[in-house]
Structure 1
């Protein structure tokens, strides 16, 4: 095993959406629109990811909604559904990754944190729906802090709040942009693709997993 693989970590940091929680606005909009093409047009041109990220950075849901309604009045009902029916975008926990999280927690070898781009107005519902979020030693929510990944200040906030060192920390996120942001702050990263891929990389990095997970 090479030196990079053998590095010892004390802190593991997870993203939430698309890593531990299956969130996808298509779950909702495929009910609203007749065709997948209509859904894709709406999400690419009206309720875009860039627009959503502003809520993750602290903009209120009401302000965001009224802004789009004023710009696209022909889509008013569909725009209001984004947060009015937001829970329908949730597909449930990604159980295989949650199993990895539980195993790491039970090993008692690591402090485990979450660093998430998430609106502070919708995150309380996630805390109710997903009891496994109580496993974390700390959660930093972008909407609460009014900053988000990949802003360096957001990673630094995590390190400072929990008094942890970047060199001892491994970050897991499905967005490669966010991994690059972490690495720019001296934090090693894993670009999450699937639970199986995550198991394999954790094993390569000598992060503890039980036999049931590492096989």
Structure 2
């Protein structure tokens, strides 16, 4: 049901705008390195790989070198690493972009994503191939990316920073994310939320807002 107080909508990226399959990346690195996928997952978790890259602790070169180090595979090329890392990024349905355009006529819309620079470069390629739109910044008023902010969802500080930088009020803002922890983080600072759960998509969740 539509909340008449809402003036701003913040979207997560993965599995909200863009379809993703996170385990595919570990499978790709397993195939590259000749290891089991379960071993790759353990290595990534023990080394806190996602957090380091997605909060900007590691830059692109540092990330690639870290991958070579933790997989003990010094001959991995930059291209091979990027391709494996990006393999979790799937398709971006054009109808979701059309929804964003429609919502933009009435609401201020923003993006807030836990992500990395390598992923964003590829996402923009997928976006352009799918819709002809060159980059995410052409869709949203402000694009908030974890690796640029030095913070990740569900840390409440990232939501507070978004509200402050955008100049918007929590009670007038709706946030959509597929991760329940991220939803709870936003709730803690007073933001209205929708927990996006497949197979339902934002087309259904926001149909009342797009009228």
TM-score of the pair, normalised by structure 2: 0.76
| Candidates 46, 49, 52, aligned match of 2:50 | 52
Cα gap change, 1:8 to 1:61, in 2 (>3 Å):
same
Whether contact under 8 Å (1:56, 1:119) holds in the other structure is yes
Structure showing the higher helix proportion among its residues: 1
Q: Does 1:208 align with 2:206?
A: no
Q: Tell me, in whole angstroms, the C-alpha distance in 2 between the residues paired with 1:80 and 1:124.
A: 13
Q: Tell me, in whole angstroms, the C-alpha distance in 1 between the residues paired with 2:194 and 2:210.
A: 16
Q: Tell me, in whole angstroms, the C-alpha distance in 1 between the residues paired with 2:199 and 2:210.
A: 13
Whether contact under 8 Å (2:177, 2:195) holds in the other structure is yes
Q: Which runs of 5+ in 1 are unaligned?
A: 211-215
Q: Tell me, in whole angstroms, the C-alpha distance in 2 between the residues paired with 1:119 and 1:71.
A: 19
Deviation of the 1:151 alpha carbon: 1.4
| Candidates 114, 138, 155, aligned match of 1:151 | 155
SS of match in other structure, 1:92: coil
Cα gap change, 1:112 to 1:100, in 2 (>3 Å):
same
Deviation of the 1:165 alpha carbon: 0.5
SS of match in other structure, 2:210: coil
Q: Tell me, in whole angstroms, the C-alpha distance in 2 between the residues paired with 1:39 and 1:86.
A: 16
SS of match in other structure, 1:73: coil
Deviation of the 1:100 alpha carbon: 2.8
Structure 1 residue aligned with 2:130: none
TM-score of the pair, normalised by structure 1: 0.75
Q: Once superposed, what is the RMSD of the aligned Cα atoms?
A: 3.2
